[in-house]
Structure 1
């Protein structure tokens, strides 16, 4: 939108369009809460419009006849002299609660003009001005009257609640205007309807508009609770009902104010067109069906083009409010309503636990108290650590979009339409979010090569004895689903790092002379995720339709994935799968297991539901497998790497709800009611910020030290050693050769028995310090430091401060190893300069944790968010979408079941009663 076209007429809250948007979004959430209160008070099963909830007439075949003598400067867009434009019309009572026609009310008329492939929505009421001067007053008025069915109750609500929000003078004006506007009328065909505020009329500038009755067939008076509907039906059965469509032009801010919708305009009315409601029998089946279709429409003044965009504070707010209201009605968006008692309880408990945290860390508290502390910690992070860098800087005009039937019942290939009210949210090509304000996006100092060489190099292997190598493979399998920063070719303006004296390096594989600088490819698209942010199994299925269909049988039309003798098919030595970058045997094991799992789900679905068809079978199996992956990560992998009772219960609360302790259930019910029953099946929520994974999330999942350099492969039947290999032997082209030679059962068994590396300093895999990727040599330890800096992730102490943690005051506080302290001091000089990646690896984790408490804070925030934001893991986690069999498959299944199903030889070996990601005995 070109703001300069309207800047002379409009004044923005906060001084700019960007500052106004979060204000309007908060108001939109309040409107959804009003709808929900009205629904509960009226005893309705479904949400209705917050206002104008009671329809009185819907007409699809009306027309707007533009006058032949239309003034030259009013000839804008589709308004051409003599044109006849098809329109849809809805007449309604303004109340959000059901009430009879015999009670006073305000009435509205909405017109959707269809022209040149776009729509223009014109909304009017039968009172000349709005009771509220702006959006803030309007929302306050709506909240004050929400759920109140009687006129006296509404008046009490207005007089008791409005003064605190808008002041006494505005309260009196609102009450007076409401009393004047709410009245009983005899016929809606004889009423005049005025616009709420102004719109732009192309180059003619702002106008207000109205509909004035011209032709109204006579009809006998109708009595009763539905008399207005009856009156319209009788008049339309006798002939056409016609209104004059007229506009007032902007004259001056004093006579015709754009921002104040409570003031009348002092300007003459000019004719533009005639609105004609054609003769009809309103009781006919055709008319009734048409009215049902009209009732499903979402009228919004922002359904228009830039030339006719709404103007003024109230109109600008209506975009967010109408979209939220419509999405709530169609079960595409849900009110994130925190009851006052919950907010008060959380504030009080938060104060107590902040005092407790100074004496004793959360992980040292008794389990029930630790769980409550984590709930409060997560609440605080949700309030302060969700930032949308893609927030638009102005209100844009857009036409309404309707998601396809397929998008409503299954995941799309790119992640679009997961959130039906904001279709692009989390899809391929959307930006990464942030958990804190950006740091500088410069290379900075000290030299990343020196930091990697002196602080990350693996001298001796430091094992993580509580995990196995399947856990290392699993997290890379997951990261490939979640994030993908595309790289430029190395020749395209790479980052150049001078090599320290005597440091050997070649940027390309071969035997040529060593290079004098290390070249690192830049990100191709700054801040853009090339895969979807959703937990949708894209590493198995692909992140676009072309790749997804390439992986399916029957030339992309079959339900099953293509396999080659139980293995992933090969394309020039590498597997044909959803995502095969940085390929190694660990990825091959897990992605093969879940490709087989998809086909097993298809077999079961076809047997149980033979009429499902290949496409629906494929989409349902994908839903089931993706949900199973999410569950395994939530309740199996994470408790394995954060091996404490508190985390085990906390993650089970996320999926299954609070199961046992009375204090925990009571506390969670008070502080976070959704956690009591678990996230699956609950209402989606984004905490006021569109869902996206964040650059900080990417940073804390840099867990390359988990990868060992050396591997021993065992025979699963005897336990005897079969062969040994180094990482580079099972990387790239070597991965599938090894996999096919030793077989899936022995590969899984060997990884289950072996320990990964500890996530710490001095333990970065040597194989990843110089390996070939796409024709270039890569030192991933250097890349991990450099990417974190250039993507604007703050340094370690700033990172902690942003997560409401105390700073580390000295190198001795960061690590108790004297040699490492000395190296840190030599490289960084000051503890505040320590890189976040280095600080996370240096920090001593809590007992049982596989990574630092600082990294855990990002996990705490984002782990539940990934579930809570996903429609297919919340409101649409139900049998109508997944099938009964599919839901049962997820709820009963786990990683051990997947392994046993596809490696039956390991049935007696896979651990029982403990995590598959812990060492197998």
Structure 2
């Protein structure tokens, strides 16, 4: 036995080196599907080994207290995400630090004057401004709504302090209403211990776990507001929408980024939670409100994770290899049909998928990372104009701009036209492609709920620099990808390459991560870049591997058999039809609810 371990390790190392070589010389997406999958497996092994870095051990002051464990926290998700890992109860809880996918000593933020070079506003105006929508024709606008809905669960840096804002100089002729442009700094880590020799850290105000906290909240007080107190259900207003809290600190309409698409997804999965409660009440008529609520939350959160894994992602990165690979993350290489017939085959993730396998942090405490946040800056998915139409006859109802569908007007529109017609409208229109010159115009002059106007494109550029995420070429080197040698390497559009060269004064090393990712040539079927995909290869599976409620506790004892059956059988299409059955005439012809729907 002692001789076999080094042999296995050597074979694995050889396999990983071969995968890296094949990717660098040929490209995983150019290989036949079986070989491409093997290369992706090898790349993920390397990323797990080389690109998970712990920030929790960096110096800290006065960490927030962790609530004491309870009997309920063994069987259910806690409000703040604590006690997911019994051996490290702070892991992934609200307030925990973001991790890193690059070494901590490479994460020092840029400082003036480099952080303003080139001007984020110039980058926004010259390289990101949308003249007309460049559509992603393989998907529909529900893709954009879904992603915004997910992000509200995954991460937030919290409210920015208002003192010492960044000041961005403006060019002559820039029509911005104030000079200079002011962008509030990212909220520092409340438990941070900044020093010149230690890279700063930032904390996530949400839980890091995939636990549907955008619906349920990350605090006990928030959960009390959204719960009805009866049969485990969430509160739903008479108009069918989630109840909006009176507290402005909890009202989603007051949060930047709230728009009609987020409201639609929130409403849909609030109703889904209540439908799960009805199913569980039928199976367990003596259960309390608390028991029904906690089990329904587990089922709803897992269903959302499943839909993202096997439907949303394969629609957005619709290469044959990645479509198969993402489904294998959930069902394993044995596939969905065998899984439903025979259940799990063994306890590993390869054959039967990650749900129900062993929990594994791969040597680093679980946390979402700043690099994960950076690659998910995908505002180009959102159109500027929406054409709302009737699902019954396709007749026009309303033409509206994104500006007219944010904040309070989003709720008013939903009440006036109803979710069925809104879902139909989103399902039959295309989002934007995540590429240059395709940033929503409205978001370049976005008025926050507090009245402050900001250019979100310029803010996105500045944020990545501020948070210590390297620029494009260095980012690729740290992921063992070839850097761009010239501006022509970035894009096959000569005019665009020249425009990027001008903005960056001829220095390819200064090109921002977001600009490089938006410019680069994408694999077939991809709506975003291969560089972003590298972080996705690592973090998409890690969010499942590290969470005991998706691994060791993904069992009938925790979820109930009825709950697991619900997750196994449900799809985005079945969720839509459960609550909006009049969409059946459209959805019966759609293989994936995130791909374009036929018109009525």
Please give the TM-score of this superposition, normalised by the length of structure 1. Answer: 0.59
Q: Does 1:863 align with 2:552?
A: no
Distance apart, 1:357 and its partner CA: 3.0
The structural deviation recorded for 1:772 is 1.1
- 1:520 and 2:183 aligned: yes
Change (3 A) 1:880 1:578: farther
Paired residue for 2:332, among 657, 664, 683? 657
RMSD of aligned C-alpha atoms? 2.4
| Matched residue SS, 1:476 | helix
> How far, CA to CA, are the matches of 1:653 and 1:579 in structure 2?
39
Residue 874 (str. 1) matches residue 551 (str. 2): yes
Give 1:694's aligned residue. Answer: 369
Please give the secondary structure, in 2, of the residue aligned with 1:734.
helix
In the TM superposition, 1:760-839 aligns within 5 A as 760-773=435-448, 774-828=450-504, 829-839=506-516
Aligned to 1:505: 176
What do the CA deviations read for 1:436-471 (whole angstroms, capped 9, x no partner)?
A: 033441224111100110000001210000010000
**In structure 1, what is the Cα distance between the partners aligned to 2:537 and 2:580?**
34
Structure 1 residue 648, shift from structure 2 partner: 1.2
2:244 aligns with 570
What residue in structure 2 maps to residue 458 of structure 1? 130
- CA deviations on 1:618-651 (whole Å, 9 max, x unpaired) are 0000000000000000000000000011111101
Per-residue CA distance 1:327-381 (angstroms, 9 max, x = gap): xxxxxxxxxxx96554333222223333433431111111111111100000000
- Alignment partner for residue 903 of structure 1, among 580, 585, 588? 580
Deviations, residues 590-630 of structure 1 (Å, cap 9, x unaligned):
00000111111111111110111100100000000000000
- Pick from 561, 586, 592 the counterpart of residue 915 of structure 1: 592
Residue in 1 that maps onto 2:306: 631
C-alpha distance after superposition, 1:235-290 (max 9, x if no partner):
xxxxxxxxxxxxxxxxxxxxxxxxxxxxxxxxxxxxxxxxxxxxxxxxxxxxxxxx
Tell me the distance in 1 between the aligned counterparts of 2:468 and 2:391. Answer: 47
Alignment-derived partner of residue 753 in structure 1: 428
- Secondary structure at the residue paired with 1:525? coil
**2: distance between equivalents of 1:569 and 1:689?**
39
When residues 732 and 341 of structure 1 are mapped into structure 2, their CA distance, relative to the original with a 3 A threshold, is farther
When Rg is computed on C-alpha atoms for both structures, the one with the higher figure is 1
Find the residue that maps to 2:126 and give its secondary structure: helix
Residue 602 in 1 paired to residue 277 in 2?
Answer: yes
For residue 832 of structure 1, report the CA deviation from its aligned partner: 1.0
CA distance in 1, matches of 2:253, 2:456: 23
Q: Is the 8 A contact 1:381 1:803 kept in 2?
A: yes
Determine the structure 1 residue equivalent to 2:46: 380
Change (3 A) 1:393 1:583: closer
Give the alignment partner of residue 472 of structure 1, picking from 121, 132, 144: 144
Secondary structure of residue in 2 paired with 1:382: helix
Choose the corresponding residue for 1:389, options 55, 66, 71: 55
Q: Alpha-carbon deviations, 1:705-751, whole Å to 9, x = none?
A: 00000010110000111121011111111100011111000000000
8 Å Cα contact 1:440/1:789 also seen in 2:
no
Runs of 4+ in 1 over 4 A off after TM superposition: 338-342, 399-402, 571-580
Quickly say closer, same or farther: Cα 1:877–1:340, change in 2 above 3 A. farther
Question: Of the two structures, which has the highest relative contact order with CA contacts closer than 8 Å and spacing of 6 or more?
Answer: 2
Of residues 577, 597, 614, the one that matches 2:289 is: 614
Deviation at 1:400, TM superposition (A): 13
State the secondary structure of the residue aligned to 1:909. helix
Q: Distance in 2 between matches of 1:585 and 1:471?
A: 13
Contact conserved, 2:231 with 2:281, CA < 8 A, in 1? no
CA distance in 2, matches of 1:675, 1:861: 15
Equivalence for 1:495: 166
